[in-house]
Amino acid sequence: MHLVKFHRNLPKFKFWTKRRYSHALLTDENEYTEAPEYPPILDMSLQGRKLRERQIVHEKIQKLNTVEEKQIALNMPRYYGWKCVMLNEDKIPYNALPLVKCYTRTHFIPSSSLPDVYSETASLADLVVKQTKSLIEDIIILESEAVKHNYVAEQEKPEEQQKEDMITKNIVKQINRIICNKLSDKASHILSSQADYEPRHEAFWFVGGLDVPHTVRNQRKKHKWLRDQLEEPIDRPVQYIGTPLLTLRSNLPLKPLLPYVEATNPDFKVPKFSFVPESVGYHTQHRHGTNIPGFWTGDCDEFGLLSYHGRGHISVRNPSFGLEDNVEALHSQALKASFGWLLGQANYQGFTTYNDITYPLVTQTIITNGKLWSFYVYQMNTIAMHNEQMDENPKHNICFGTKPLQLYDTIENGQVKGFNEEVLKMLVQLYLNAPEERDHEMKPFLGKEEQIIADIEDDEKRRWLESRYKHLVSNRPKHYLMPEIYLWERIYKIKHNTRFFEAKRRFFERDINPFKRRLDEHLPPYIPKVLRPYPRCRKKFENTYYPKV
């Protein structure tokens, strides 16, 4: 009955509604094309949809204006931080090189001298070596024997290692001082460059295509729709932390060693190392990913020239690892340090692990203990190696490196014996490698007006982002502890269901994964009533400016 009535009234409703399905005639004459244009065929499988979701996020990160917002965006999916594979500069397990090569996507070329690019400055370097040789001999004698330094050993590291690094640090400071003073009138880039002592270098990136740890496989087994993808490779977040003894940086980047097209050369292919990193001596830690090349954004000297690293950790390595492995350990230290520093610099240019660099970056790394010197020159061509890119990205990074070379043989009666001028010459040549202005855009993924948060006009937003960014990268402990399954719970609640009568309140009883919590899933700071704007304001919480990704 009601239905009939409704039907009778239907024409009346017609006046209320708009006829959305009719519209003005298309002005465009070219509606019809010669060949049919179909919309792209999308992969509607679960993996296909997930892939598209991820790609959208990557594009959103690329479109963000400032460096710091991009860094916060990388950390948005995890409130408690990523479970990172930790790569430390001075903790190197046995047979470390294959993993480091794969994770930094680097083709390592062992050589006995520097690449050909350096031959231009050979004659000048010879001259400088002649003039500074005696001074450097004096330094070695003075720092090794004649000066009493005040030094306090820390608890964390072996004393032998610290002692060696301390002497190295002093020698390196002096040698850097002599060479810089000598070259400052010959090379203008040395005068304007900045030297940092023990800066903080950190880098964060994703490595894809790795084997699945058993925990992840067990998780996948629980879901019906994931059972056919048990062995699908996964992304692992990787965090590098290092402290060089001394670095030099300048406002211009170094020239590339090889042309950028060489990056896709299949000769430089890097073998894959897909074993679970925990099984070869690395550990994981929950922390926010940080990319820091030794300074905060806004400093004008953004590009590294060279960095000195200590090798005190070699002296405390297990002797059963052998000499050959020690050399490999040095190579892997150099690869990590060079890639880590360059990645930090690349992040300050607006690139992230999801948005690959568009031009190569170069750095020079020296590992030394005052007597033994190894030189490395590293060209970074790519930083994209997450799951989709690991197998498809044709680009590779390239590193040239020497074995440890002796600067001198011994010190006898206050005299340096067997001083090797070639080593000093190589060192001077690294200093003489002048940076150059590039003729392409350096920061294509940053905004035109706003490139760092100090450029933001809005006072409140700028303040908030600055403090949030610094808080994030400090990785200070959270106010509340991380959620945890206590042992008694694992026994009496999970393994054996002995407390079925209790209310189910804990996260594991309610199928909540607390580590999937996003960074912005928290209450913003409360505004007390007295502080709210006059006359009436219902806004209870302060604004947050998390990037929307």
Partner 1 sequence: MKLSQILNRQHIDFMFKKHWAVQGKRFPIDTGLEHLLKEKGIPVEDALEFVKVHERKPLSKERINIVGAYETPLPLDENNPDYKSRPCLTLTNTNVLLEGISQAQVLTKTVIAEDKLPNKIEELAEISIPKLVHEGVKKAILSANVFDCEQKKLPKVKDPARPAYNFPRILGISDRRRNEIITNKLLQLVEKSSDFELSQTRYVLNDVECKTVFDKEDDLIQFQDMSHILVTSNKPLTHELPERDIPFVKIPDLYPVKYSVTLPPQHFYDEKSIYPIQPSITNKHPHTTWLHFNRTEVSNIYETPVTDAQIHGRSLTHAFTVATAYAKQLHGEEVQDLPEPIYVNCIQTDGQKYHFGVFELNTLNVDGVEGTKNVWYCKNDVKLYDRSCYFNGMPVLENYNPKVFGYINAFYHC
Query: CB-wise, 9 or 413, nearer to partner 1?
Result: 413
Query: CB-wise, 51 or 135, nearer to partner 1?
Result: 135
Asked if 199 and 247 count as a contact pair (C-beta separation under 8 A), the reply is yes
Query: CB-wise, 90 or 143, nearer to partner 1?
Result: 143
Rounded to whole angstroms, the Cα distance separating 402 from 378 reads 12
Query: CB-wise, 174 or 364, nearer to partner 1?
Result: 174
Residue 405 vs residues 334, 374, 426: alpha-carbon distances, Å = 15, 6, 11
φ/ψ region of 167 (left if φ > 0, alpha if ψ in -120 to 50, else beta) reads: alpha
| CA torsion angle 82 86 88 91 (round to 10) | 160
Query: CB-wise, 48 or 414, nearer to partner 1?
Result: 414
Report the nearest approach of partner 1 to the CB of residue 193 (Å). 9
Rounded to whole angstroms, the Cα distance separating 468 from 464 reads 6
Query: CB-wise, 394 or 414, nearer to partner 1?
Result: 414
Which residues make up the interface to partner 1 (CB under 8 A)?
135, 138, 142, 145-151, 170, 173-174, 177-178, 180-182, 184-185, 190-192, 194-197, 199-200, 292, 294-296, 298-301, 414, 453-454, 456, 459, 462-463, 465-467, 470, 473-474, 476, 500-502
DSSP state of 307: E
Report the nearest approach of partner 1 to the CB of residue 127 (Å). 13
Query: CB-wise, 2 or 149, nearer to partner 1?
Result: 149
Report the nearest approach of partner 1 to the CB of residue 357 (Å). 22
Report the nearest approach of partner 1 to the CB of residue 153 (Å). 14
String of DSSP letters for 37-91: -PPPPP--SHHHHHHHHHHHHHHHHHH-SSHHHHHHHHHTT-SS-EEEEEEESS-
Residue 517 vs residues 86, 109, 235, 425, 493: alpha-carbon distances, Å = 22, 43, 18, 54, 23
Helix, strand or coil, per DSSP, at residue 365: strand
Report the nearest approach of partner 1 to the CB of residue 498 (Å). 11
Report the nearest approach of partner 1 to the CB of residue 471 (Å). 8
Query: CB-wise, 192 or 544, nearer to partner 1?
Result: 192
Rounded to whole angstroms, the Cα distance separating 423 from 408 reads 9
Report the nearest approach of partner 1 to the CB of residue 249 (Å). 10
Report the nearest approach of partner 1 to the CB of residue 413 (Å). 11
Rounded to whole angstroms, the Cα distance separating 463 from 379 reads 36
Tokens standing for 460? 């409140």
Helix, strand or coil, per DSSP, at residue 397: strand
Write down the residue that tokens 């060192």 correspond to: 427
